[in-house]
Structure 1
Amino acid sequence: MLEVVVYMKRTCPYSRQAIALLNEKGCEFQKVDVAADEVRHEEMMRRCGSQTVPQIFIGGRHIGGCDDLYDLEARGQLDALLGRETRDSAAP
Structure 2
Amino acid sequence: MANVEMYLKTTCPYCVRAEALLRAKGIEAETYNLDAGGPKRDEMIERSGRMTVPQIFIDGQHVGGCDDLFALEREGRLDTMLAA
Which bracket does the TM-score occupy, shorter chain normalised?
over 0.9
Identity of aligned residues (%): 49
Could you list the runs of 5+ residues in structure 1 that have no partner in the other structure?
85-92
What TM-score, normalized to structure 2? 0.95
Conserved 8 A contact 1:35-1:41: no
**Aligned pair 1:68/2:68, yes or no?**
yes
Instruction: Name 1:34's counterpart in structure 2.
Output: 34
1:14-29 matches, cutoff 5 A = 14-29=14-29
Bigger radius of gyration: 1
Q: Does 1:45 align with 2:12?
A: no
1:2 aligns to what? 2
5 Å-filtered alignment, 1:52-91, equals 52-83=52-83
Q: CA deviation at 1:36?
A: 0.8
Write out the 4+ residue segments of structure 1 that deviate beyond 6 Å after TM superposition: none
What is the RMSD of the two structures over their aligned residues, measured on CA atoms? Answer: 1.0
What is the CA distance between 1:28 and its match in structure 2? 2.3
Contact 1:8–1:55 (8 Å) recurs in 2: yes
Contact 1:5–1:30 under 8 Å retained in 2: yes
Higher relative contact order (CA 8 A, sep 6+): 2
- Residues 42-90 of structure 1 show CA distances to partners (whole Å, capped at 9, x for unaligned) of 0000101111000000000000000000000011110000016xxxxxx
Structure 2 CA distance, aligned partners of 1:72 and 1:66? 10
Partner Cα separation in structure 1 for residue 2 and residue 26 of structure 2: 13
